[in-house]
Structure 1
Amino acid sequence: MSREELAALPTTTTIETAARALGLGRTRAYQLARENRFPCKVIRIGTTYRVITADLQRTLATDSKTCI
């Protein structure tokens, strides 16, 4: 996912979009969310999982600093 795509996301996004940005598969993302181990803030609304975009961006920024 490009920086432009990430910047254009709404306040919350789907777990599938967040997983794609983090390089995770869909199944693994849902597994981590169910186990409260997803790398950023997840909100569960009924059977739907939403990810806070600002937290996703912080997580990605931290990861990129670590890799440099």
Structure 2
Amino acid sequence: MSRRELLELPPSVDLVTAGRALGIGRTKAYELARAEDFPARVLRLGNTYRVVTADLLRLLGVEEDNAA
């Protein structure tokens, strides 16, 4: 994902999108989430996993432009 794509993400993203941003495949992303080892904060909402975008951006070292 490009920096621009990362900055346009909503406040939380699905596990597959977060994995894609990190270069992790779907199966590995779910495996890490189930083991509570995903490198960013994961929210479990019923059977759904959501990753907090702010944590994902911090992990990747992507900072928002404060010019806006």
Quick check: TM above 0.5? yes
Structure 2 letter corresponding to 1:59: L
Q: Secondary structure at the match of 2:9?
A: coil
Structure 2: runs of 5+ lacking an equivalent: 63-68
Look up the SS of the partner of 1:55 in the other structure. Answer: helix
Does the residue aligned with 1:56 lie in a helix, a strand or coil? Answer: helix
Gaps (5+ residues) in structure 1? 63-68
Aligned length: 62
Task: Give the partner amino acid of 1:38.
Answer: F
2:9 pairs with 1:35: no
**Structure 1 consecutive aligned stretches of length 4 or more whose deviation exceeds 6 Å:** none
Q: Which amino acid aligns with 1:49?
A: Y
The 5-angstrom pairing of residues 1-68 of structure 1 reads 1-61=1-61
Which structure has greater helix proportion? Answer: 1
Q: Distance in 2 between matches of 1:4 and 1:20?
A: 15
Q: How many percent of aligned residue pairs carry the same amino acid? A: 58
Q: Tell me the equivalent position of 1:66.
A: none
2:40 and 2:12 mapped to 1: Cα distance?
12
| TM-score of the aligned structures, taking structure 1 as reference length | 0.89
String of CA shifts for 1:13-59, please: whole Å, max 9, x gaps. 01100000000000000000000000000000011000000000001
